[in-house]
Amino acid sequence: MNPGMKFVFDEPGLPQTGALVLLVAQNLGLGPAGRDLDAALGGMLERAMKAARFSGKAEETLCLLAPAGLPDACAADRIVLLGLGRTEALEARTAAQTGGAVVAALETSGAEQATVLMETFDGMALSAAEAAAEMAFGARLRSYRFDRYRTQEKPDKQPTLTRIAWHVAYPATARNRFSHLDAVADGVFLTRDLVSEPANVLTPAVFADRCRSLESRGLAVTVLDEAALAAMGAGALMGVAQGSVNPPRLVILTYKGDPEADDPRPLAFVGKGVTFDSGGISIKPASGMEDMKWDMAGAGAVVGLMAALAGRKARINAVGLVGLVENMPSGAAQRPGDVVTSLSGQTIEVINTDAEGRLVLADALTHVQNACSPHTVIDVATLTGAVVVALGSEHAGLFANDDSLAAQLVAAGQRTGERLWRLPLDEAYDKEIRSDIADMKNVAANRNAGSIIGAQFLQRFIKDGVRWAHIDIAGTTWSKKDTALTPKGSTAFGVRLLERFVADSWEAS
């Protein structure tokens, strides 16, 4: 939907026009080409850095307009000094963030083209080509816009930047690395498109249709409609859906990237896809309720992840399963006190209709284990407000029944910056969701340990011997402000994290 910026890689050399971006390391200052240019400019760059107290911290930028005295073949209309941070601290994640800063500085600046002179600095752990690819990845992630419903934009808010080039030694290496990252960014953009969409547009049926369109990208897509779900006995999911005029769907995306694998069992990802969460009869307060259009962000992340894996032809067999419902109050809605029979056969007393995510996931988790026999299941959900209280927006909550799985996920979080903090699972919490008339109730009597209670509830739907992790993204999936890699709005949290997890913990072995 975004016409999109172009990201290209070329041999070293000064550009003819546009913005010229020079890297500045916090510990080393300008690189060799930057110093040559500064000499030609009579020391203007060093003087500007001093005057602005520019130190080269990662993501710091300083823009010098209409520079005079540039070498003959170069008519750049501005020079942007870009902080790289300390060279020894430069890794994929920080390089990407630096790339994001280029877009942040120039997107609506009037500049149409930018050229980054990608130099090598002493002590850099990445090659210049790798760093350029990661910077381009970050730049692309930061360039996302959701403009579908904007018919009037003030001219000075309209983006001008359409192309960024990295002038770097071994541009073919950078291009090759970027083509993988570009597929991941495609997945991130798909997730952001889904999550940003309002709930009147993105109903469960429309979400399922968008999943179907991924067949062209090498995924097999199966959609179960209301009749199929009822026939199957998915009573927990159906109970949530029954108050809405928009019927539920369950979508299974299958990707076979490793047909010769010794273990035929797939890795499974399951997403909470509540296209709107009003709370149902246990209705939410009006203030902020509009945020609940993104209560399908777990499902959005699973779909974007599957698109990314297929797009970069990951060597893995994976399934993605999303439970899609709308949680609404109406004369047909589920009431507090209702008892539903889940697909697993376990009965649930629904005390609070606003604890609907766990009901949807219960049946989705059961179905993925019945239909796909995965060795490992990872669910992603905007499950609890309590996780926002506990961890804010810097970490998502992680729960796992397996220590090595938890460690792998935490490591992927560190590498991508989509960080996780592990919280406990413990039988001692189970007594809080004992019901007087059914196998369990869906909430505890008070708000204590709300995220853990949610995870304990989900664990009841995991079969013995299945490795399982639950990631609560309620605090991390939507950003109220711009960050290095994300304009404000949907972050697509989980796509880069789980893509990294697949690459490091499955494909590498």
Q: How far is the CB of 247 from ligand BES (least distance, A)?
A: 19
Binds 363: which of Zn ion, Mn ion, ligand BES, none (CB < 5-8 Å by kind): none
474 binds ligand BES (CB under 6 A): yes
Q: How far is the CB of 290 from ligand BES (least distance, A)?
A: 12
Structure tokens at 44: 């203007």
472 binds Mn ion (CB under 5 A): no
Between residues 117 and 362, which has the closer beta carbon with respect to ligand BES? 362
99 binds Zn ion (CB under 5 A): no
CA distance 481 to 317: 36
277 binds Mn ion (CB under 5 A): yes
Partnered with residue 340 across adjacent β-strands are 348
Please report, as residue ranges, which positions from 273 to 292 form the binding site for Zn ion (by CB under 5 A). 274, 277
Give the range of 154-162, 168-176, 198-206, 354-362 binding ligand BES by CB under 6 A: 354-362
CB 216 within 8 A of CB 323: no
476 binds ligand BES (CB under 6 A): no
- Residue 358 bears catalytic tag: yes
Closest CA to 275 of 293, 291, 257: 293
489 binds ligand BES (CB under 6 A): no
Please report, as residue ranges, which positions from 245 to 304 form the binding site for ligand BES (by CB under 6 A). 277, 295
Between residues 60 and 277, which has the closer beta carbon with respect to Mn ion? 277
Helix (H, G, I), strand (E, B) or coil at 288: coil
Binding mask 23-62 for ligand BES (x = CB under 6 A): ----------------------------------------
Report the first-to-last Cα separation within the chain, whole angstroms: 37
Binds 474: which of Mn ion, Zn ion, ligand BES, none (CB < 5-8 Å by kind): ligand BES
The one-letter code for the residue type at 237 is L
Contacting residue, 304, 357, 487, 494, with Zn ion by CB under 5 A: 357
CA distance 45 to 36: 11
- Residue 419 bears catalytic tag: no
295 binds Zn ion (CB under 5 A): yes
459 binds ligand BES (CB under 6 A): no
Q: Give CA separation, 292 vs 151, 286, 469, in Å.
A: 24, 11, 24
Helix (H, G, I), strand (E, B) or coil at 122: coil
CA distance 393 to 395: 6
* Strand-by-strand arrangement of the 440-441 sheet: 338-341, 347-350, 440-441
Give the range of 272-280, 330-338, 358-366, 448-456 binding Mn ion by CB under 5 A: 272-280
Contacting residue, 60, 326, 354, 499, with ligand BES by CB under 6 A: 354
CA distance 393 to 234: 33
Give the active site residue among 93, 142, 358, 415.
358
Q: How far is the CB of 412 from Zn ion (least distance, A)?
A: 25
CB 456 within 8 A of CB 362: no
Between residues 81 and 443, which has the closer beta carbon with respect to ligand BES? 443
Count the neighbouring beta carbons within 10 Å of the beta carbon of residue 313.
12
Closest CA to 30 of 84, 66, 106: 84
336 binds ligand BES (CB under 6 A): no
Binds 12: which of Zn ion, Mn ion, ligand BES, none (CB < 5-8 Å by kind): none
Helix (H) or strand (E) holding 39: helix 32-40
83 binds Zn ion (CB under 5 A): no
CA distance 428 to 444: 13
Structure tokens at 90: 């430069």
* Phi and psi, residue 421, nearest 5°: -130, 125
Contact set with Zn ion (CB under 5 A): 274, 277, 295, 357
Contact set with ligand BES (CB under 6 A): 277, 295, 352, 354-357, 382, 384-386, 388, 443, 450, 474
Which residues are identified as catalytic?
284, 358
